Amino acid sequence: MVDLYEPTSPYDQGFLDTGDGNRVYYEQLGNPAGKPAVHVHGGPGGGTAQRPTRAWDPERYRLVRFDQRNCGRSTPHASDPAADMSLNTTQHLIDDMERLREHLGIDKWLVNGASWGSTLGLAYAQQHPERVTEIVIQAVTTSSPAELDWLYRGAGRFHPEAWDRFRDGVPEDERDGDLLAAYARLMENPDRAIREKAAADWLTWEDAVISHEPNGSPGMYSDRDVDAQIGLVRICSHIFSNGAWLEKDQILRDAHKLAGIPGVLVHGRHDMGCPPQTAWELAKAWPDARLHIFDDSGHVGGEAMRHTVRAALEEFKNR
């Protein structure tokens, strides 16, 4: 068993000025002279954890955490209608990561993330493979059209009553069309009450998807303050309604660009939001990756999944 470390809090915090009116919050934890690593949070728009870490060896790692554009402590926050969502695309986020790496004087780093964090982390690594030493990701998703269609439509076969409520959250004349685009439009409405309701409807669906998974946690997505709910759903609907600005199956297609980068993929067999097919296909296309699928876990993971992530971090800390 890989033991948890004593809680480690940031030794450095700051904001990265992106030059276009955005300021990206970042923090560093562990050993300033340690092996660099970056954690890429999920959502999109979920923000990084505002608590100490216990999974990373504080003597061996220099861990960078950051809040992606318009969420968490980054500014402007997406709950503010004045925040310009046209400046929040996958390419903007990739460029922010690279700009942050340069700002911190880091040559290469390990990339770690989960869910949307796996999409962004993989997309970053495929653009900048020379800057990535290893990749450790959990709840693997590439945000492909098929995956997004499953999460926001196909999974309704298992939760029909919840999906009906999700569909009925948009205007009646849009319910048979592109639901993600319809929600994105609602999240741009100047009436805050409309934005609050749309955010609540969206997050109620997200909660339903994981509600019956092993280790599922009711209210996992909606258990945040109203501004955080609005920001999360505004970013999610904006990015996903645009297909994350990725070409169809782009990350799987470009898996060869990860050649030579050791990877560990950790996934739950019963992940209702991101079925394991994607992780399986990615592992086949990326020979340097090892895939671990756990029968007792879903999207939110479990102790065996967390242990495997920690074991990978232990393995790579001396590499």
Q: Please tell me which residue in 79, 115, 143, 297 is annotated as part of the active site.
A: 115
DSSP string, 174-230: GTTS-HHHHHHHHTT-S-HHHHHHHHHHHHHHHHHHHTTSTT--TTTTT-S-HHHHH
3-state secondary structure of 137: strand
Catalytic annotation present for 95: no
Amino acid at 175: R
Q: Please tell me which residue in 41, 270, 292, 299 is annotated as part of the active site.
A: 299
Rounded CA-CA distance 186/137 in Å is 32
Catalytic annotation present for 84: no
Rounded CA-CA distance 210/212 in Å is 6
Other beta carbons less than 10 A from residue 175's beta carbon: 14
Cα distances (Å, whole numbers) of residue 131 to 109, 126, 287, 292: 6, 10, 19, 25
Rounded CA-CA distance 199/79 in Å is 11
291 and 308 Cβ atoms separated by less than 8 Å? no
Ordered strands of the 10-17 beta sheet: 10-17, 23-30, 61-66, 35-40, 109-115, 132-140, 263-268, 289-294
Q: Please tell me which residue in 57, 67, 201, 271 is annotated as part of the active site.
A: 271
Task: Spell out the residues 6+ positions from residue 149 whose beta carbon is closer than 8 angstroms to its own.
Answer: none
Catalytic annotation present for 299: yes
Residues labelled catalytic: 115, 271, 299
